[in-house]
């Protein structure tokens, strides 16, 4: 990045830091320097990712993307830098999620699947196969840089409020002014898109909040990012295979078969505990447990769980006494953590 980034703001930033801190100025300068003499090349990259046309999902009413191009009468000298930061184009949240999912999926972009199969009354079944939109969205080197930027946004950037938790998260905040009657307004659309666990992705997700209320809630890091984090914590609490990671010493001293046996034993023990509780229909004791373990036990019994306190702490109080019978479906229980 050249010296123009030194004037105000964050000061002189690397491209990694520009991404982590959502610097519109930095991104605009970088894109202008690379594509300024040939803006169509920038459009070609967008079109190569298939985000300029509908995905063809199995629902009526899918939004149709729109991108200003150099061939359009609306194109001007500021169109390219505006495009680089998300203006002068319209794409759906599902398009954004499809792109982020491709980054998590080793570069392979697949069409979102909302319906896997349809069964009729006579037993006939129609299957919907996985459709690959693009085998590789970019090179391995570029993919590595993208992942580093997305992880850096959570580790050091605007979304660092998501850093501490059960899983390492990779993602990006988004904030856009809403167009009202042809002019940009003070209302915003905020978003957070990403995937987790960052090192071995299993889930991708996008949260979009339209017109969040309050001056302090205008940006993607303030509203959608915490919602994303709550979803991560809830999924982590139900992930049998994602709890109690094996330490380095265990990996060194144990063979792979020993490790798999250990993991399977943990899963079986956990499932046996849940099965016993379900049979007896008794409130379990979750005191001193981590949130993920408490959620797993309680929700496996059909309890509706409310949470108070530090989600990274241990349970120190539960509203329903352990050992009492569960007499109604979906009873509510409050757990407090510190």
Q: pLDDT (tens digit, 9 = 90+) per residue, 18-43? A: 999 888 899 999 999 999 999 999 99
Residue-wise over 224-255: b if at least 16 C-beta within 10 A, else e? bbeebbeebbbbbbebeebbeeeeeeeeeeee
How much is the pTM?
A: 0.68
- Which parts of 181-244 are beta strand (E)? 183-196, 203-210
Q: Distance between CA atoms of 188 and 175, rounded to whole angstroms?
A: 7
Domain boundaries, the chain: 158-238, 246-337
Per-block mean pLDDT, blocks of 10 residues, the chain (338 long): 46 89 91 95 93 88 91 92 90 94 95 86 82 94 96 92 80 85 78 92 92 66 85 73 39 45 51 54 87 84 87 90 82 90
pLDDT for 248: 36
Confidence (pLDDT) at 304: 87
158-238 folds as: Beta-Lactamase (3.30.450)
Into which CATH architecture does domain 246-337 fall? 2-Layer Sandwich (3.30)
| Residue-level pLDDT at 104 | 95
Q: Which pLDDT value is given to residue 252?
A: 41
């Amino acid at each position: 990045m050249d010296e123009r980034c030194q004037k105000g703001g964050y000061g002189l930033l690397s491209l990694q830091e520009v991404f982590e801190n959502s610097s519109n100025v930095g991104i605009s300068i970088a894109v202008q320097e690379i594509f300024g003499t040939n803006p169509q090349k920038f459009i070609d990259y967008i079109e190569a990712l298939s985000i300029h046309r509908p995905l063809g999902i199995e629902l009526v009413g899918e939004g149709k993307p729109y991108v200003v191009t150099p061939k359009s009468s609306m194109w001007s000298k500021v169109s390219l830098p505006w495009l680089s930061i998300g203006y002068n184009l319209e794409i759906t949240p599902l398009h954004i999620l499809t792109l982020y999912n491709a980054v998590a999926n080793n570069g392979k972009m697949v069409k979102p699947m909302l319906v896997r199969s349809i069964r009729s009354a006579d037993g006939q079944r129609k299957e919907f196969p996985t459709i690959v939109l693009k085998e590789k969205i970019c090179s391995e080197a570029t993919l590595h840089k993208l992942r580093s930027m997305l992880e850096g946004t959570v580790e050091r950037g605007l979304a660092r409020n998501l850093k501490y938790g059960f899983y390492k998260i990779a993602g990006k905040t988004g904030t856009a002014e809403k167009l009202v009657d042809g002019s940009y307004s003070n209302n915003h659309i905020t978003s957070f898109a990403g995937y987790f666990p960052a090192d071995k992705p299993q889930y991708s997700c996008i949260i979009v909040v339209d017109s969040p209320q309050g001056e302090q809630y205008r940006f993607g890091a303030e509203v959608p990012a915490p919602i994303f984090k709550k979803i991560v914590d809830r999924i982590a609490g139900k992930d049998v295979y994602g709890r109690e990671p094996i330490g380095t010493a265990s990996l060194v001293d144990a063979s792979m078969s020993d490790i798999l046996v250990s993991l399977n034993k943990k899963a079986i023990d956990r499932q046996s505990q849940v099965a016993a509780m379900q049979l007896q229909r008794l409130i379990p004791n979750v005191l001193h447990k981590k949130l993920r373990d408490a959620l797993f036990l309680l929700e496996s019994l059909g309890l509706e769980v409310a949470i108070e306190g530090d989600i990274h702490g241990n349970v120190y109080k539960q509203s329903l006494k352990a050992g009492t019978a569960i007499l109604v479906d979906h009873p509510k229980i409050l757990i407090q953590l510190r």
